[in-house]
A and B are shown apart, each in its own frame.
Chain A
């Protein structure tokens, strides 16, 4: 690629990386992995032999599909050696207007489910997961021992999964 072509590629990356990164981040929820997957998405997308057949207005959708495949692939592998989660249930953001509505509904659903927990369980989740405090910081704020924070958050999440499953079943019916 000559210098001019690289400038065009740079412009494309500059104009598209942010929504793509946000999309990936909402799936993986950590910066390290999101950066990694975003970079890999561009490498794979731009070396795809049929990329020129894609309509320009579908580029972002294509980038997101490639990113999703990378995430699926990584998590399939990690099932053998590391973490695993149901990525389809992680809300997406800004895939399209409809998806934004889905995201808002999903977020509302999560908030409502959280509100069903008792006060201590809700508090521990708020501090540990939403505010990102460490176990010792959370223990200090809540006036309990660190070990109790771990047990409390474990029970809170177990209850939350039950609540969410029940709500989803009701919704399905």
Chain B
């Protein structure tokens, strides 16, 4: 037994040091313990190689190729086998280009686009398989982060949102409309963002073909870093994303799709011409709640008086909804805190205005993935709310309440 105790410890040390274990088990029992160690280790994220690992692979392939060419020459100079090998490689390469180079091709295509115009449909499927159109949007976007969006159908029909020179304007409204595109929230299904997401995705695979709005498209399954997988339809010819579909979660499946899209030189000037007399007001989203993010090397975790139990499955589903353009408020920690506090006051649900005003929430400390928000209201005994980005740790990650204090 003493020997096994030592062997097991040495085996753990090897894995901890990211080295290949060379300690012979010698018994079935110790084998099963080694197995258990690996299983426990699999709870952790993998340790990744250096950033130039991809180059090393290619270098290695190159070396092997040179060696095999040399030996082939020695064996069969100018032989049929050599020609066949070249043909195989040529075929192989042409197939590979079709598949794995697609993200690169999308990037290249998009780099040549100056601006685009499309009609974007936001839909959802329910569990019965019925599809409903939530909104239909007329969308103009250019590469300088300017856009014009008009709601053609849906709850905010007629609403126009314009982003020009860093400012956002909205028409025909008394107060800026929160859930529609704004400075604070990512523009759903913006082509550039979609391609960037693919570049940082954990995995991408082509799972089939389809024909949508008269275009032949690949269907790709994308697993983002954090959150649930989604499907993306990409035009085979132009390499532009046409449709995005999340997974069914909470009996709802969101779909966003361009019913048509054209590349143009610029957004027509008259569309982004702001005329205050025509009812445009500057949408001063959230400026009172902007707080500088404090940079910290280590993730900051607060210690609240009361911890809130989090269901990670629900959070993953919410992340997917946010990725699909639904529930964008989950990306705003202040709004998430407001909803949380309001639901503590009215657990049966909120009808009409929130019992605690949005302006009563003030960001006290904000780090990259955690935030502390003070509540200045007599309507609740909650004084501080703590939130974290639990699913994805970047600007597209949703915020979750993890705890609160009732005393200052």
Contact = CB atoms under 8 A, between A and B. Distances in A.
Answer whether A and B are interacting partners. yes
B128 interface: no
Given A83-B34, A89-B35, A150-B6, A134 B221 contact: no
A146 B313 CA distance: 40
Contacts of B98: 56
Given A8-B93, A8-B101, A33-B20, A14 B54 contact: yes
B89 A1 contact: yes
Contacts of B13: 134-135
Interface string B1-30: 100111011011111111111111100010
Contact of A91 (B18, B39, B53, B202): B39
Contacts of A149: 9
B44 interface: yes
A83 B11 contact: yes
Contacts of B99: 56-57, 59
A19 B225 CA distance: 12
A85 B18 contact: no
B280 to A, nearest CB: 44
Chain B contact-residue range equals 35 or more
A43 B58 contact: no
The 9 closest A-B pairs by CB, nearest first: A56-B99, A52-B91, A25-B46, A31-B18, A57-B206, A19-B203, A132-B16, A29-B41, A33-B20
Contact of A43 (B41, B60, B221): B60
B53 to A, nearest CB: 6
A134 B99 CA distance: 44
Contact of B93 (A9, A28, A32, A161): A9
A107 B205 CA distance: 24
Nearest to A7: B58
24 contacts: A5-B93, A9-B58, A14-B54, A15-B101, A17-B53, A19-B203, A29-B15, A30-B19, A51-B92, A52-B91, A52-B95, A56-B99, A57-B205, A84-B34, A86-B31, A91-B39, A94-B202, A107-B42, A107-B43, A149-B9, A150-B8, A154-B4, A154-B5, A154-B9
A32 B223 contact: no
Interface in B50-97: 53-58, 60-62, 64-65, 68, 88-89, 91-93, 95-97
B202 A85 contact: no
Contacts of B11: 83
Contacts of B96: 8-9, 12, 56, 59
Interface of A: 1, 5-6, 8-19, 21-22, 25-26, 28-36, 38-39, 42-43, 46-47, 49, 51-52, 54, 56-57, 59-60, 81-86, 89-91, 93-94, 96-97, 100, 106-107, 110-111, 114, 125, 128-130, 132-135, 149-151, 153-154, 157-158, 160-161, 164
Given A21-B49, A60-B205, A154-B8, A10 B35 contact: no
Given A12-B96, A16-B100, A134-B13, A83 B22 contact: yes
Given A12-B100, A129-B41, 18 more contacts: A8-B93, A15-B103, A15-B104, A15-B204, A21-B53, A25-B46, A25-B47, A32-B20, A36-B20, A38-B53, A39-B56, A39-B60, A42-B57, A84-B34, A90-B42, A111-B43, A130-B40, A161-B33
Contact of B35 (A28, A56, A86, A125): A86
B229 to A, nearest CB: 5
Contacts of A10: 54-55, 58
B38 interface: yes
B36 interface: yes
A110 B48 CA distance: 23
Contact of A154 (B33, B53, B92, B207): B33
A14 B89 CA distance: 18
Contact of A26 (B25, B35, B42, B58): B42
